Structure 1
Amino acid sequence: MTSQPAFTPPPNARAYFLDTSRGAFAVVDHPVAPGVEARGTALLLPGFTGSKEDFTLMQEPLAARGYRTIAVDGRGQHESDGPEDDESAYARGELAKDVLAQAEALDARDTPLHLFGHSLGGQIARAAVLIDHTPFRSLTLMASGPAQISDSQQQRVKLLRDALGVMTMAETWEAIRAMGPPEEVGGPARGIGGQDLLRRRWLGTKPAQLLATGRQLTTEPDRVDELAALPLPFHVLSGASDDTWPVPVLDDMAARLKARRTIIPGAEHSPNADQPLPTAEAVADFWDSVRETGSDEGSDA
């Protein structure tokens, strides 16, 4: 694909379409900072109604710690193409295979490749490693729980799905804004760039993607035991409060995974937006521990 994504990336980063065996995906690729030893690469998956731009404030501090990061719009999300009406294209297994194709296309064989997923992106990342964990050195789940979302957020998703059944994306945008937050489920996710970018990425996202992934969020089974059986280091990171998956639910999931557990003070469901610097530092600390010891120990809770 020769065209370029419309988003202007931060300094030193590059926005382009990553060609894979399953199509092209819009990414923001931030290299390691000049003069810093390269320590690894990470693939960053955004949440429901989110996009690659959600990670912008984390990418520079991660680059300063030696990590190249590639934030990606999933199939049908913001600047990545996908069918308007065919929900089957957004089945969880299909989205997981997309992640594996992205990892293969990055050709990061000479450096550890870490997988990082926020909210819905965490559940897609989980599905990907359950198909094949071997491309990845670790998995970080940020504000992403073991099964379906909370009852209150399920109601918000239902409202969104009902609205999409009778309104256009533009009409739904206005209706959701009238409802106010939430930031992640049932309304535009928090992000940089103000209302213009939020509206543009909402209108760029395919309705079928929102319908299919919204349904998945309300029906996702608990697959933590399957995940725990994999030979991967895990990191469960969240804010100090979360309406989508309550913090005690995330604590329990971390214990079941024997994962590093990090809670970011002053953050809620989107630590990447609420507290990007301490979030980036916690993530880099985890990746460093994996690189240096071959496993992870301890908790930052």
Structure 2
Amino acid sequence: MSRPPTFIPPPCARTRALATSRGPFATLDAQPAAGTAKATVMLLPGFSGSKEDFIALLEPLADAGYRAVAIDGRGQYETAGPDDRQAYTQVELAQDVLAQAEAVGGPVHLVGHSLGGQIARAAVLLDAAPFTTLTLMSSGPAHIVLAQQQKVRLLSDALTVMGMEKVWEAMKALDPPEDAEVDGEDLRRRWLSHNPAQLIATGHALTVEPDRVDELAAVQPLPKHVLSGERDDTWPVPQFDAMARRLGARRTVIVGAEHSPNTDRPQETARALIDFWDEQVAQN
């Protein structure tokens, strides 16, 4: 579970519902203090995460002139979703992303963390036209490693027979939220707001995701960026290295970060994103 440093957005950001052709989505929308934004950035969170996982990135991105919109996907935290697991297939979630991009207005730099990266990839493969660049943050080429697959399956099994509150208590016993800087009650509230059907469906998707790197590499012209921490327990770091080579993508390793560089080292992560986007502007 990603643990943002705070659930309180910076002054540059406001919480608002993004109205789309596929329904409303809860967002944190950060605007530059003055002038027109260089471009809009869409930030997609990972499994069991939320838009708050990007809070520490919002101010530096806005200060650099980018409008940054962090989004709860359907069934995540403050965006409602149905109880039908079929509503959370990767194709459905990718179509949501395309609707979100249309609603925020282009051009859009798309960033997906972990599960969000695989959903972002699926959206680009459906229609790359709305996107200026794609950044895959700690999001690997295919399914997650075996140890994580086993954890996800245990969680899914528990969710089918236990309520969210009981599952939270079991998770807390194994990995106390008190170890995090953020208030454990915020993490609990977020967890209880997730739709269990979404967690089961997207968790399963992470365990069976095929390698679609060659398909993505064929999407041209679309600058791509593979960013990760120097350690990762969900995909081996060498997989990120190899994926970047196959994509012809920019490769960034955030020193001192693990699976969530956006919360582990937000300033360094923001700088790497800004440098990538600014470089695209300079080249065009």
Q: TM-score range by the shorter chain?
A: over 0.9
Asked if 1 retains the 8 angstrom alpha-carbon contact of 2:12 and 2:32, the reply is: no
Q: Are positions 1:208 and 2:197 aligned together? A: yes
Partner Cα distance (2:283, 2:260) in 1? 29
Q: CA deviation at 1:278?
A: 0.4
Matched, 1:76 2:65: no
Q: In structure 1, what is the equivalent of residue 144 of structure 2?
A: 149
Q: Answer yes or no: is the 8 Å Cα contact 1:137–1:233 preserved in 2.
A: yes
**Conserved? CA contact 2:114–2:139, under 8 Å:** yes
User: What is the aligned partner in structure 1 of residue 43 from structure 2?
Assistant: 44
Q: How far apart, CA to CA, are the structure 1 residues paired with 2:165 and 2:51?
A: 21
Is 2:211 the partner of 1:222?
yes
- 1:9 Cα deviation (Å)? 2.9
Match of 2:15 in 1: 15
Identify the residue that residue 288 of structure 1 maps to in structure 2.
278
1:270 equivalent to 2:268? Answer no
CA 1:57 to 1:254, structure 2 compared with 1: closer, same or farther past 3 Å?
same
Unaligned 5+ segments in structure 2 are: 1-6
Structure-2 separation of matches of 1:194 and 1:115: 29
Match of 1:298 in 2: none
Distance 1:193 1:88 in 2: 33
Do the aligned residues in 2 keep the contact of 1:191 with 1:198 (CA within 8 Å)?
A: no
Which of residues 157, 161, 171 is equivalent to 1:166? 161
Shift of 1:34: 3.0
Inter-partner Cα distance in structure 1 for 2:119 and 2:189: 24
Question: Aligned residue for 1:195?
Answer: 184
Q: Measure, in 1, the Cα distance between the counterparts of 2:262 and 2:163.
A: 30
- Superimposed CA distance per residue, residues 254-292 of structure 1 (whole angstroms, 9 cap, x where no aligned partner): 000000000000000000110000000000000111111
**Cα contact 1:24–1:80 (8 A) shared by 2:** yes
TM-score by length of 1: 0.89
CA–CA distance in structure 1, aligned partners of residues 44 and 173 of structure 2: 28
Q: What value does the CA root-mean-square deviation take over the aligned residues?
A: 1.6
| Cα separation, 1, equivalents of 2:185 and 2:46 | 19
8 Å Cα contact 1:22/1:101 also seen in 2: yes
Amino acid across the alignment from 1:203: L
Pairing partner for 1:98 from 90, 96, 99: 96
Q: CA 1:292–1:40 in 2, change beyond 3 Å: closer, same or farther? A: same
Q: Cα deviation per residue 1:89-132 (whole Å; 9 max; x = unaligned)? A: 00000000000000001123xxx310000000000000000000
Alpha-carbon deviations, 1:117-165, whole Å to 9, x = none?
0000000000000000000000000000000001111111011011101
Aligned-partner Cα distance in 2 for 1:191–1:210: 22
| 1:123 aligned to which of 115, 118, 140 | 118
Is the 1:53–1:192 Cα contact (8 Å) retained in structure 2? no
Q: Secondary structure of the residue that 2:131 maps to in structure 1?
A: coil
How far is the alpha carbon of 1:38 from its aligned partner? 2.7
In structure 2, the partner of 1:243 is 233
Q: Which whole-Å CA distance do the structure 1 matches of 2:134 and 2:62 have between them?
A: 18
**Normalized against structure 2, the TM-score is what?**
0.94
Moved more, 48-57 or 190-199: 190-199
Give the drift of 1:8: 5.0
Q: Secondary structure at the match of 2:232?
A: coil
- Letter of the 1:66 partner, please give it: G
C-alpha distance in 1, partners of 2:130/2:42?
A: 11
What one-letter code is carried by the residue in structure 2 that aligns with 1:96?
A
Structure 1 unaligned residues grouped into runs of 5+: 1-6, 182-187, 295-301
Structure 1's 222 and 192: CA in aligned 2 closer, same or farther, altered over 3 A? farther
Partner of 1:33, secondary structure, is coil
Identity of aligned residues (%): 62
SS at match of 1:78: coil
Name the aligned partner's letter for residue 77 of structure 1: Q
Report the count of equivalent residues.
276
